[in-house]
Copies of this chain bind each other. A is one copy, B any other.
Amino acid sequence: MYYCTMYSKELLKGTLQPIILSMLSETNKMYGYEIFTKVKERSDGKIILKDGSLYPVLQKMSKDGVLQFEEVHIGKRVRKYYFLTAKGSEVKRDYLQELKDFLETINELVYKSAVSV
């Protein structure tokens, strides 16, 4: 898994969990590498999740009761299929609402101001 980042790392901060929650609410079961691939494709290669970020956060979200997973053996390889818990669905709704509001606010503030007098 190799990559070059499109955006300054700081901009991505706080968006990782919402992104994962969003992906998992569309496709009810996904494993880490699948999420990585999906996000990469959907963003036209602009958002490349780092495995050093992705796998730890999936573990954290499981620990927080937001996700659950089941291990599936594919040949000799193991996949962990993650899915939203009931709590996860709630958290998803809240996080996505907050993110949406944030995007709109920043957009308004930075690009839509300075109305001529």
Specify which chain B residues have a CB less than 8 angstroms from the CB of A12 in the assembled complex. 14
Number of copies: 2
- Cα-based distance from A11 to B100 in the complex (angstroms): 11
Specify which chain B residues have a CB less than 8 angstroms from the CB of A103 in the assembled complex. 103, 106-107
* Distance (whole angstroms) from the CB of A70 to the closest CB of chain B: 23
* Distance (whole angstroms) from the CB of A103 to the closest CB of chain B: 5
Find out whether the CB atom of A98 lies under 8 angstroms from the CB atom of B8: yes
* Distance (whole angstroms) from the CB of A3 to the closest CB of chain B: 15
Find out whether the CB atom of B102 lies under 8 angstroms from the CB atom of A111: no
Q: Which of A18, A22, A100, A102 has the most CB of B within 10 A?
A: A102
A110 in the interface, Cβ–Cβ < 8 Å? yes
